[in-house]
A and B are shown apart, each in its own frame.
Chain A
Amino acid sequence: MNDTELGTHEWWESYKETVNNDPEMKVRGHDKFSENFYVEIGDERVLLEVDGGEITQLVPNPTMNQQWSFGVEGDREAWEEFVQETPPAFNHEIIASHYRSAVRNEDGHLQLTGNNKKIFQNLRAFQRTLDLMRVAHNDGGS
């Protein structure tokens, strides 16, 4: 487990490095995953500006001057479950978590927002980007 607390500046910088050096992202980004999205942990929102499968910039508290296609929102407890090395069922992956929120109306899971077409056009690279939160959080563990 990484000593750095989830969502701190140091954590996000370590995460950015993990994404930008991930060999699968080199393949699954196809050099074409170029959609900005935000991650909201509790009340804290960070915009990830992505170009060609790499995070180019992290923007805390994005304003109307920024643009994004979609986002993921959840309370801090749900995200802390998500980044565990072996996460519990239903918060272990974004579609799993979203399904329990959107279809089964359960609390305590992550939820997708924004342009669904863009989400599905970029699903595998976007999904991998989120899964790498777990890798970064666990010092490079799976």
Chain B
Amino acid sequence: MATNYQPGDVEPISGSYVHTEVEGVDHRIYVEENGPEDGIPLLCQHTAGNNCQEWRHLLTDEAITDEFRVIAHDLPYHGKSVPPTSQKWWTDDYTMTAERFTETLVNLADALELEDPIYMGSSMGGNIALELADWYPERFRALIGLECGAYSPGFYIDWLDHPEVNTTEVNAYACWGLMAPQSPEPTRRETMYLYEQGATGVFKGDLYYYSVDHDYRDKLDQVNADECPLYIANGEYDYLTTPEDGRQAAEGIGEGATAIELAEIGHFPMSEHPELFNAYIREILADITGDRDEDLPSVLKPDDVGIELHQRGPAREKQAK
């Protein structure tokens, strides 16, 4: 992971806008990418209410971008993907659904002319891996659902879009405990900072999909993981979609589905602890490309990937009065 940039260094990430039709409407979608043009496309989906900056550490990891063309986008209404100028979008509540979400992802892959891409997303981006495997298994080489479960109730909360609440802070800090406390504080704080950039109502609208619309408890046998390999990788500290939830989903799907617990990390692995996540995800990517000889373990631990956990400093001095 490139973390030691100096003044004057330019990160190798490039940004562009691609036009994609969703529900018959043209959307201008912002995309960042790095890696060889002929590399294996790895399409990365951010979490609810966030944007593509969550993937900035993966986008600059040479151990991954040497082989993969890593692409991260802002969904419509998120980050730099502003709402379509052809619509009176301000007269409707923003609401994400499984149909809109999958159509956006598939049409974006088509617009970018991605051949046999790997899809990877976290949280709502993890859950949607089930719908993608069910409805579009032929479009992807493999799917990686991070923090993925069959059902994730309880987070469609009115206070996340309320005129008497500071939603900028609340949308972020409602998620604070989704991260592992041993993840480095600067990257945990940055993850929350990214959350504070979301537009009003968008986080809650995404959570309609996440906590209401998405319910695969009785539909897991429809998921076509035998046609398109599906990896479900959930962090130990994710209290919304626990590793046990991931194991149950994989068992319900059956052939082609693999559950992996990611130890010592939470619900935002790529941004809360990039060094550890990138090391974990290299193992899963190697399994997809056939570069890994052994089966993936049921639990990936920092020791397995040569990462020494963030060391807590000595007890800090209490602030002087």
Contact = CB atoms under 8 A, between A and B. Distances in A.
Interface in A90-121: 90, 92-97, 99-100, 102-104, 116-117, 120-121
Q: Which DSSP category, helix, strand, loop or mixed, fits chain B's interface?
A: loop
A120 B161 CA distance: 11
Contacts of B176: 93, 95, 127
A25 to B, nearest CB: 10
B159 A117 contact: yes
A87 to B, nearest CB: 6
Contacts, number: 82
B88 interface: no
Interface residues of B, number: 34
Given A22-B319, A86-B182, A103 B154 contact: yes
Given A120-B159, A140-B316, A96 B178 contact: yes
Nearest to B320: A21
Interface of A: 17-18, 21-23, 85-87, 89-90, 92-97, 99-100, 102-104, 116-117, 120-121, 123-124, 127, 138-142
22 contacts: A21-B318, A21-B319, A21-B321, A22-B319, A85-B312, A86-B182, A89-B237, A89-B239, A92-B181, A93-B181, A95-B174, A99-B154, A99-B239, A121-B165, A121-B166, A123-B173, A124-B169, A127-B173, A141-B312, A141-B313, A142-B181, A142-B312
Given A21-B320, A89-B242, A97-B177, 5 more contacts: A23-B319, A96-B177, A96-B178, A99-B239, A138-B315
